[in-house]
Amino acid sequence: MEPLTHFLTGACIGRSGFNRKTAYATLVGVLAAEAADLDVIWGLAGPVEGLKHHRGITHSFVGAPVVAGVVVGAVWLLYRWREGRLLHQANVPNQDRKSRPQQPVRWRWLYLTALIAALSHILLDWTNNYGIRPFLPFNGRWYEGSIVFIVEPVLWALFFVALVLPWIFGLADREIGARRKPFRGRGWAIFALAGMVTLWCWRWAEHAQARELLDNLQVTSEPVRRVSLEPYPINPFRWHAILETADFYQTAEINTWTGSIDSDPQQDVLYKPTVTPAVEAARQTFLGQIYLDWGMWAVVRDVGQEPVPAMKPPQLPPGRHWTTIEFTDLRFDYPFLGTGRRKGRSPLAGWVYIVDNHIDAGEAMDGRQQR
């Protein structure tokens, strides 16, 4: 999921009761829930390096306890710094002294909060269709739930209710002079987390219903080898289906509310590209190996001498030839934010310039060249 959902989930975890056990619980929950995405730093080494390490060891069951420990260690440093300031103020005469927080710091509870928040990151990322590798470093297989889109406004609404309404009610209480209640918002936080799980169960059921509709209707003209169902945001009844046969891929739009399946054999069929020597060479490049390891529905094709925005075409002497090999993943090649067919370049696409059918002359992804 995108960062905002992780941050809000961590805040609700902290406020669901852990903040009654120890100080800094909400802060630790927020930081630990998003800390796994620090692997984006690998992107500084290039887009392909970023793809290689994204959702890697920090998104694994082995990495989660380490991520939790690092977050708690950072908060311990903050705690020591604050303690030092309070001690300094206590020794300075005629200075307003800030009282110590009434809530004690219990480090075991803080670590448990951080660990649960770190594990929530793995679970949330599993629910979308990008995938995770939770068993690294022992098993590099990708797993995906594909039940929730990577950006889900319904979850934002739940978290908004859980985190903002208690604050509004607190303002109302102060307005009428009511005594301030400590740890306000626990019930709302639990409500939001329960609502998120309920949404997952609902979408899981709709996902299964969409698959059942596909199984009961012959959509393709050839036997289907495998199927994938991709989610849309907000609407749990809409699903984008990808079906693979021996010769082509075919897509379909499914509405589980109406029970309809819409697929046009003229527009929704993509024949499998020919594997040319240049395509085979591109598969062996750094980008090719990383992309094919991640891309569960990867399509590799020779698009001719088509320049890409991130790289200048190779400058070759007469008699030599170059071509562009494009890598796309059908899981993301659909109009997930609209209703029409996708136009333009596919997101998360990659390109390799191949010279003379075997030389790697440059690699790029998402508008950046791999150096």
pLDDT in tens, 108-133: 999 999 999 999 999 999 999 999 99
Report which secondary-structure segment, H or E, holds 328: strand 322-329
- Confidence at 175, pLDDT banded by 50, 70, 90: very low
Nearest to 192 by CA among 1, 6, 9: 9
Residue 240: predicted pLDDT: 95
Q: Is the pLDDT of residue 91 over 80?
A: no
Is residue 110 classed as helix, strand or coil in its secondary structure? helix
Among the ranges given (106-115, 252-261, 305-314), the one the predictor scored with the smallest mean pLDDT: 305-314
Q: Which pLDDT score, from 0 to 100, does residue 186 have? A: 87
User: 264-290 burial string, b = 16+ CB within 10 Å, else e?
Assistant: eeeebbbeeeeebebbebbbebebbeb
Q: What is the pLDDT of residue 197?
A: 97
What is the average pLDDT across 204-221? 94
What's the average model confidence in pLDDT over 345-359? Answer: 91
Q: What is the pTM of this model?
A: 0.90
- Residues contacting residue 111 through CB under 8 Å, at least 6 positions apart: 68, 69, 72
Spatial separation of the C-alpha atoms in residues 117 and 121, rounded to whole Å: 7
pLDDT at 314 > cutoff 50: yes
Degrees to nearest 5, angle at CA 53 with 49 and 54 = 110
Report residue 265 as tokens. Answer: 């054999």
Cβ 18 vs Cβ 25: under 8 Å: yes
Distance CA 129, CA 228 (A): 10
Would you place residue 180 in the very low, low, confident or very high pLDDT band (cuts 50, 70, 90)?
low
Per DSSP bridges, beta strands 248-255 and 359-365 are: unpaired
Q: Is 330 helix (H, G, I), strand (E, B) or coil?
A: helix
Q: What is the pLDDT of residues 238-256, one digit of tens each?
A: 999 999 999 999 999 999 9
Per-residue confidence (pLDDT) for residue 343, from 0 to 100: 56
> For residue 239, with 0-12 CB atoms within 10 Å meaning exposed, 13-18 middle and 19 or more buried, which class applies?
buried
Model confidence band, residue 179 (pLDDT cutoffs 50, 70, 90): low
Task: Report the distance separating Cα 13 and Cα 16, nearest Å.
Answer: 5
Entry field: residues in the chain: 371
Structure confidence at residue 335 (pLDDT): 84
Mean of the per-residue pLDDT values of the chain? 89
- The CA distances from residue 77 to 83, 99, 334, in Å, are 10, 19, 46
pLDDT at 88 over 90: no
* Out of 177-186, 314-323, 330-339, 353-362, least confident range: 177-186
Q: Examine the pLDDT at 101 and tell me if it is beyond 90.
A: no
Query: Which residues does residue 63 pair with via DSSP β-bridges, in sequence order?
Result: none
pLDDT (mean) for 288-304: 95
Rounded average pLDDT over 148-170:
84
Per the CB < 8 A criterion, the answer to whether 311 and 364 are in contact is: yes
Domain residue spans of the chain: 3-146, 217-270, 273-370
Among 24, 92, 36, residue whose Cα is nearest residue 63: 36
State the number of CA atoms in the 13 A half-sphere of 150 facing the CB. Answer: 11
Predicted local confidence at residue 97, as pLDDT = 47
| Least confident span in 85-89, 110-114, 304-308, 333-337 | 85-89
- DSSP letter string over 220-278? SSS---EEEEEE-SS-TTEEEEEEE-SSEEEEEEEETTTTEEE--TTTSEEEPPP--HH
Within 8 A by CB and 6+ apart from 37, the residues are: 3, 6, 58, 121
Give the residue-averaged pLDDT of 135-152: 95
| 81: pLDDT strictly greater than 90 | no
The mean per-residue pLDDT over the stretch 257-283 comes to 94
Q: Classify the phi-psi angles of 234: left when phi > 0, otherwise alpha if psi is within -120 to 50, otherwise beta.
A: left
pLDDT category of residue 73 using cuts at 50, 70 and 90: very high
